[in-house]
Every structure is written in structure tokens, then in C-alpha cells.
Structure 1
Amino acid sequence: MADPLRNQSGIPAARAASKPIFDDRSVDELLAGFPADRSLPEAGNPRLNRAAESIGGALGTTVGRVRNGLTLVKGNLVETSNQITEQISDKASAIKDKVESQAHDLNITARAKAAEFGDVVQGTSEQLAGIAERQWLELRQNARQRLIMARNRAAVLKQDHPLELIAAFAGAAFVIGFAFRVWRSDHD
């Protein structure tokens, strides 16, 4: 067992507190407990030597273990970082595959919708073309019927009222001739 520390100054504890903390001795001397001109006390106490050896041995063993522990920690850190890197790489690869699969599915769906839209547009355009053709035929048929009706009326007028028809053409020719004459005199 270690020797207890003793107050070697001979001053009672109450008086020692009133003494200034620093006197002529150096800080090293105060911290070490022996004069600064010597690095270690003399090897005069075998108990103190054994205690110092056991403390030094324990401290050396502890430093060795800490170094080994740091080496293990560094090794574990490298191994763990490699595992984490591999896991991240695997997750990124899985996400990439999933995104590519979803993009492929989206591409197929978009193509199917585009084809469906094209079919709808083609069907609608064919319907509109059919409607336009029917309306054109109806318009053409209506125009033909009106022309036939006008010819029939002209034939009836020609047979029933021939003189009135000649007078109407003569009057129309006179008005057209007069209009041409006025127009020609303005532009000459």
C-alpha cells in the first residue's frame, strides 16, 4: 500500500492556506513534488519502485491494447465502410433497375395510348369526310333540282307569255347597255 501524503512543512493546515501558493519554487517543482534539477527521485524506496513498475507496466499494457483497439477499429471502419458502400451500390442498382422498368412500362403505355388516339382520330376524320361528302351530294342535287325547276319555268313562260319574255330580255339588254356606256365614259 502507498504511503499517505504528509504535511512536511510543519505548518498547520489553517496557516498553510494563508501562505501564498507560489513562492520561489518553480511550477515544475510544485507539480512534480521534487526539485527541477532532478527528473526523478532517487531509487531509495523499494515499495515506491515496485508501485512505479506496476503502474508503468499497466500503462504500457493499456497503451498497447488501445493501439490494437485502434487498429481493430480502423479495420472495422474500413470493412464497415466497404459494406456500406456495397449496400449503397446495391440499392442504387435496384433503384436504377426499377426506374428503367417503370420507364419501359410508361413507354409501352404511351405508345398504346398514341395508337388508340390515332385510331380515334382516323375514325373521326373518316366520319367527317363521309358527312362532308353527303352534304356536298345533297347541295349538288339541290342545285340541279333548282336549275331544272328554273328551266321548266322558263319553258312555261316561253310558251304561255312569249311577248312578255321578249320585252323582259329587251329591257334587261337596254339596262345593261346603258350601264356599260356610263361605265365606259367614266373610265376613258
Structure 2
Amino acid sequence: MNRRETIKGLALSFGYVVAAPTVVSVLESCSARSETWPAIYFDKKEQHFVTHLVDIILPATDTPGGLDVNLPQFIDMMSHDMFRPEEKNIFKEGSEIFANRFKEKFGNNIGESGKDEIAELFASYFDLEPEEQTKVGYLQSKPIEEVPMEEVDNYKMYKFLFNIRSLALFGYFTSEKVGKEVLNFDPIPGRYVPCVPVSEIGNAWTI
């Protein structure tokens, strides 16, 4: 397995492992809560609604949100650097399907929309009955060649949304800000204790 596949596999399984320095450095730069950052993979429309999706998935509360650690920029770079060409095609097509369904539902372009409308559409695809959840998960486990023709659009759209969610979580928990301010952080770790009651641990530890 090559380096690209290794890093991508870690990211999409929420692994707490730091990726390439050029990518992770985005997470450590000054927060940029705007849509004017120079994207290398997203077009202007995607830049707009991916920024909103990040804020929906990881909003700021009493802890930093996804925009506080530059997750849209991180996802943009990871999508460009880690996906194979065929995966990029599915990602882009899924993005366009989501945008088209937004227009069908609300009558306006997603690139000019507000966060609330995007949140409503996003939630509708995850507020599913158990049988539908199982069906979506089953299809996502298959290569696109094995997906029934009538399900291909849904498959591509969910692939896009799952990638956004997975990369957002990966980037969030590997950022320095979250590692130091949200998780437990000990710059000089002490002895190794293999068995500790969960009640004594508190927050997860930064690794």
C-alpha cells in the first residue's frame, strides 16, 4: 500500500494520526472564517457550501468549532491530494447532485444560500429509518460498479457527504488547537498505565 492510500485510510477511519505536514499545517494556521481562502480543489460553489457543512457538523460551542481550525481548507487539500482520479470524479459528481437537490427543494442556488437551508437538506439525508440507514451503509461498502443503476445518484451523493464528515472529524481531532484545548494534553507524559477506569480518564487524550 502506498503512502497516499495509507494516509487516506487513516483519515477515513478517524485515525488520530498526523498526515502530511503540508496538509496538517493548514490546521495550525490562523483561523479564517471566510469563504475567500484560495481553494485548490473546490470550485467557488463548493467552497461556499462545504464551509457551511463543516459549521453544521462541528459548530462552535464552549469548545472550538470546525471553522476555528480551518477545516474547509483542510478538506480541500486532502480531497485534492489523497483521492485517486476515479474517487475525485465521484466526489465532484456527488457534490453536484447535492447542489441540484438543494435547488429542487429551495428554488435557489446552493452557492448563494444560507446555512439554515443547507442544514435542513443535510439533516434530511441522515434522519432515516433504521432500514434506510442499513441500505445506505450497505451500498457505501460496495464499489460503484456493483451499485444498481437506480441507486447510483444516491450512492455518489452519500459518498460525497460521508467524505466531508469523515475528513472534518479527522482534521478536527488532529488539530493542535483541539488537542490542547479540548482533549487531555500532557507535553511531558509520565509512566504508562495500561488499565485505568474510564471514570478517571475524563476527556480523550491527545496522541
TM-score, normalization by structure 2 = 0.17
Q: Which is higher, the Rg of structure 1 or of structure 2?
A: 1
TM-score, normalization by structure 1 = 0.19
Which structure ranks higher in relative contact order (CA pairs < 8 Å, sequence separation ≥ 6)?
2
